[in-house]
Amino acid sequence: MPKYITHIEMENGNLEDFSSLNKELLRSSFKNENINADKLKHPSKIVLSKSGNVSLQEINAEILKAIGRTGKKFSFYVVRDKNSSLN
């Protein structure tokens, strides 16, 4: 199964914005990949991953839906883990 990793940054996002975004994506089967995620006081980005029989377009749609709810300006990118299977 392919594994996708996404890096999301929000302009002027506060801890509440990132927490809400993180919870939304965790509900969609993403996994938190942040180092010391519990210790982040003023995050500027979050890193999540998702594995499964999903396409890149599905991953992008889920991320855009979750980020759109924050009302903040954002940027993100998604990469496929080169060690994951395409099947």
What separation in angstroms does the CA of 38 have from each of 23, 28, 73? 13, 20, 24
Provide the residue type at 54 as one letter. Answer: V
Does the pTM of the predicted model rise above 0.85? no
- Do the beta carbons of residue 19 and residue 46 sit within 8 Å? no
Q: Which CATH number covers residue 22?
A: 3.30.70.260
Provide the pLDDT for residue 6.
93
- Do the beta carbons of residue 72 and residue 13 sit within 8 Å? yes
Residue 72 belongs to domain spanning:
3-78
Number of compact structural domains in the chain: 1
CA distance 43 to 40: 6
* Lookup: tokens for 30: 């993403």
pLDDT tens digit sequence for 38-76: 555 556 788 899 998 899 999 999 999 999 888 889 999
13 domain residue, yes or no: yes
Q: Which residues pair with 82 in a beta bridge?
A: none
34 domain residue, yes or no: yes
